[in-house]
Structure 1
């Protein structure tokens, strides 16, 4: 079987890329190793910029029919003392809120929209096993499905499988991986009555919690432990863990004691970044976490990945018209250069916030408080946060919204 483009990975970046290419009448196949979208996701918040893209593509109506939580604020407190806040209503942009919605709903909406185009194909339960090469050029992929081997020849393979990308390995991309000094434990509890919407970070001395509204009426809570400290943390018992969290946010006491009964009710997330220097080789390009795995701080991974796809579209379109055979790596140089600037901005912001959150000495904690209060009053606060939340569509208007 021959196609123009094959996308490996049916997550937010891969499904969005498939829809964008399908709209351009490009023959595109999306391969996804899972058989359904019904699996556990942690990154379920979609920033205003990506919501804006979904509206432009006519996908948002399906999300409205399902329902979601509007996310319009980011707040940071030192226990009960406010350090920093931003309200998306203050942004000069037509899209005034992000959303929290189960990621399977978003993926299904993208798939349904893409499937309305006859040139779109989606294959689930398909595991990519190898690249097909002509010399050093990638000319297709091999995959297994239900214990049978298949292959697809194409002019471009797009790797969108996320932080543990197989194509990154098969394509022999050099990866610079950096582990953070801490791991993250996530859990989910019902929202206490009277809880104000918005993404919340609360710090107290050397500890902190990240609290995110989660559809339909829950909170997704993350707190750090030192790197490799999972065994020691568990040895202290679940009650000690609840005490650690509730010392920072007492309102979580009742829901945690009722719903967090054992460590099975929590999830350990290893925190690392992984960046590929050159995202493309002849006939192959990586996007999203496959090219640049980001820290979960402020949940920007999904949004950067979706905007990778949006920005890549015109380059794929022009490349298919300009060249014969596999699209050469150099064709994507300008795209990669532009995307690296946004990724670098977000990664740098995240790293600075991680350093703030990792404050351990009394002096570092005091310095964190001063820095965040100064940022809160800084005249450039809105400009910085707008770039973070909207990315490539920061200066868009309502034109073309559906």
Structure 2
């Protein structure tokens, strides 16, 4: 079997890339290893810039039919003392809110839009086993579906499997991985009455919680634990954990008492970054978390991934026509990789600064954190920085869609 482009991974980057290519009459196949689009505890927040993209592509209407939670504020408190806030209504952009919505809903909406194009093909339950190569160039993939092993030739393979990419390893990409000094425990509880809008970060001394509104009427709450300390933490009672969280945010005690009754009601997330120096080799390119896994702070992974796909489209189109039936060489994507690395570097740098603030442990460090966030809150360029973060490549595109 032959396709112009094979995409390995049907997450936000891969599925959107498939739709974008199909809209350009490119023969594309998306291989997804899972039989279902249901995901584990994955990113559910879509920033305003990516909401803007989904509107441009006509997908947002389907999300409106399902419903979502609008996210239009970010606030940080030291217990009850406000240190920093951003109101999206003050952004100089027509898209004034992000959304929180289950990821499978977004993926299904993109897939259904793509399936309207006869040149879009999707296979689930397909585990990529190896890359096909000729003269050190990637010319396709070998995958297994149930007991059948099949091969597909292509001009380009796009690796979009996420943070634990198999394609990345098979192709021999070198990864620089950096573990954070802490792990993260997430859980969900119903939203208490009269809860304020927006994403909320609350700190107290050396500890903190991240609280995100989640569809339809929940809060997704994360709190850090020492790196590798899961076994030690879980040797303690669940009441100890509830006390730990509620010392920072007392309003969570009642819903936690009712809904967090054992450690099975929580999810451990390992926090690390992983960056690939070279995103492309002859016949293959990586996008999304496969190329740049970031911290979950401010939920930027999904948005960078989707905008990778959007930015990559013209380079793939040009490469397919320029090189005809040959693999697209890595050098063809140099400009794309350079541009995207700038945005990824900006986001990862911002995240690193916030991680440093949140990791404050001594009284002096906590005092400095409080002062820094207060000063940042008053600086006139606060919204310019946050606009670049929240809108990415669409920060300067100010047309209502």
Q: TM-score, normalised by structure 2?
A: 0.99
1:60: how far off?
A: 0.4
Report the equivalent of 2:285: 285
CA displacement, residues 74-120 of structure 1 (integer Å, 9 cap, x when unaligned): 00000000000001111111110000001000000000000000100
Task: Summarize the alignment of residues 59-70 of structure 1 with structure 2, pairs less than 5 Å apart.
Answer: 59-70=59-70
In 2: Cα distance, 1:114 partner to 1:300 partner:
24
- Consecutive unaligned residues of structure 1, counting only runs of 5 or more, are none
1:394 correspondence with 2:365: no
Report the equivalent of 2:91: 91
Report the equivalent of 2:386: 385
**Is the CA contact (8 Å cut-off) linking 1:7 and 1:29 kept in structure 2?**
yes
* Partner SS for 1:248: coil
Report the equivalent of 1:308: 308
Aligned length: 400
**Is the CA contact (8 Å cut-off) linking 1:41 and 1:103 kept in structure 2?**
no
Task: Summarize the alignment of residues 123-134 of structure 1 with structure 2, pairs less than 5 Å apart.
Answer: 123-134=123-134
Report the equivalent of 2:226: 226
CA displacement, residues 1-24 of structure 1 (integer Å, 9 cap, x when unaligned): 100000000000001000000001
Report the equivalent of 2:341: 340
Task: Summarize the alignment of residues 3-402 of structure 1 with structure 2, pairs less than 5 Å apart.
Answer: 3-324=3-324, 325-398=326-399, 401=401
RMSD of aligned Cα (Å):
0.7
1:197: how far off?
A: 1.5
* Partner SS for 2:398: coil
In 2: Cα distance, 1:33 partner to 1:190 partner:
32
Q: TM-score, normalised by structure 1?
A: 0.99
**Is the CA contact (8 Å cut-off) linking 2:209 and 2:224 kept in structure 1?**
yes
In 2: Cα distance, 1:50 partner to 1:69 partner:
15
* Partner SS for 1:295: coil
**Is the CA contact (8 Å cut-off) linking 2:183 and 2:227 kept in structure 1?**
yes
**Is the CA contact (8 Å cut-off) linking 2:156 and 2:328 kept in structure 1?**
yes
1:398: how far off?
A: 2.4
* Partner SS for 1:31: strand
1:235: how far off?
A: 1.4
* Partner SS for 2:96: coil
* Partner SS for 1:7: strand
In 2: Cα distance, 1:88 partner to 1:151 partner:
48
Stretches of 4+ moved more than 4 A in 1? none
1:254: how far off?
A: 0.2
**Is the CA contact (8 Å cut-off) linking 1:79 and 1:204 kept in structure 2?**
yes
* Partner SS for 1:213: strand
In 1: Cα distance, 2:245 partner to 2:53 partner:
36
CA displacement, residues 21-46 of structure 1 (integer Å, 9 cap, x when unaligned): 00010000000011111232331000
**Is the CA contact (8 Å cut-off) linking 2:41 and 2:267 kept in structure 1?**
no
* Partner SS for 2:331: helix
* Partner SS for 2:30: strand
In 2: Cα distance, 1:164 partner to 1:38 partner:
17
CA displacement, residues 216-250 of structure 1 (integer Å, 9 cap, x when unaligned): 00000000001111111111211111000000000
In 1: Cα distance, 2:362 partner to 2:38 partner:
43
**Is the CA contact (8 Å cut-off) linking 1:288 and 1:305 kept in structure 2?**
yes
- Consecutive unaligned residues of structure 2, counting only runs of 5 or more, are none
In 2: Cα distance, 1:102 partner to 1:117 partner:
25
